[in-house]
């Protein structure tokens, strides 16, 4: 039995509320169980300097966690004067993942920045950020299309992510914090709506895993993706 009482292949409840920020070109509040992330998309009509003259656009991301998103208060990173290595790694993952679903030529020489702010954390914050970040990105692109600023849709496919792991010897889908903190193997799977892999992050946390177990976790992730993509589609209708 999982600590949460869920079945091995059961996702936490998913909800995505859009239009939660008045000034952002795209925004949503994604809830995956007790993990809540505010995602916004901000459009700039110029691309980064390294893309000047290439005709290519750029999607990047920033990630942060509110001090009381967790059980104990975390000091704001701004107060320390630098981001942690974990924060930098996560925001790079979000940016890479979302760029994989974008035709940068169709976007043109402009940049969209996705901000992911964790309001409440209970495991899977990077996965929720990617899933909600895609919704914010989709809404921002919709505004560009409606305004006639671009004529071809640069969003090629859905992008979402889910965590899976081996807990008490069993493969589990969508780990919450209690499961993630005790998992022998932990993995994050980023996929497209068509089931193409963008990135897989897997590591042994005190116990090695087999190729067969890795395949079992991927199978679980693919099942979870169907629910995540369905929630994305419902949010951007």
Binding residue per annotation — 126? yes
For residue 147, how many other CB atoms are within 10 A of its CB? 8
Number of other residues whose CB lies within 10 A of the CB of residue 89: 13
d(C-alpha 122, C-alpha 159), whole Å: 21
DSSP 8-state code for residue 1: -
Residue 111 phi, psi dihedral angles, 5° rounding: -125, 140
Alpha-carbon gap, residue 18 to 135, rounded angstroms: 8
**Per the annotation, does 124 bind a ligand?**
yes
Residue 49 is labelled as binding a ligand: no
104 is in an annotated binding site: no
Quick check: 150 and 106 in contact, CB under 8 A? yes
Q: Which residues contact 5 (CB under 8 A, 6 or more apart)?
A: none
Binding-site sequence positions: 86, 124-126
Binding-site sequence positions for phosphate: 86, 124-126
């Amino acid at each position: 039995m999982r600590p949460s009482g869920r079945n091995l292949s059961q996702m936490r409840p998913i909800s995505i509320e859009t239009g939660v920020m008045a000034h952002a070109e795209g925004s949503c509040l994604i809830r995956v169980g007790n993990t809540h992330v505010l995602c916004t998309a901000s459009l700039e009509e110029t691309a980064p300097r390294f893309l000047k003259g290439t005709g290519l656009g750029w999607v990047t991301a920033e990630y942060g966690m509110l001090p009381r998103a967790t059980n104990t208060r975390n000091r704001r990173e701004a107060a320390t004067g630098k981001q942690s290595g974990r924060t930098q790694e996560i925001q790079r993952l979000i940016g890479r993942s979302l760029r994989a679903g974008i035709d940068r030529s169709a976007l043109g020489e402009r940049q969209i920045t996705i901000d992911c702010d964790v309001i409440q954390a209970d495991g899977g914050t990077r996965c929720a950020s990617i899933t909600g970040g895609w919704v914010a990105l989709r809404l921002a692109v919709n505004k560009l299309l409606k305004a006639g600023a671009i004529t071809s849709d640069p969003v090629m496919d859905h992008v979402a992510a889910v965590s899976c792991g081996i807990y008490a010897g069993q493969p589990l889908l969508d780990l919450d914090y209690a499961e993630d903190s005790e998992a022998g193997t932990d993995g994050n799977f980023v996929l497209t709506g068509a089931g193409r892999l963008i990135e897989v992050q897997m590591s042994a946390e005190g116990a090695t895993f087999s190729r067969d177990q890795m395949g079992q976790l991927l199978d679980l992730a693919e099942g979870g993706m169907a629910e995540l993509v369905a929630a994305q589609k419902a949010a951007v209708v």
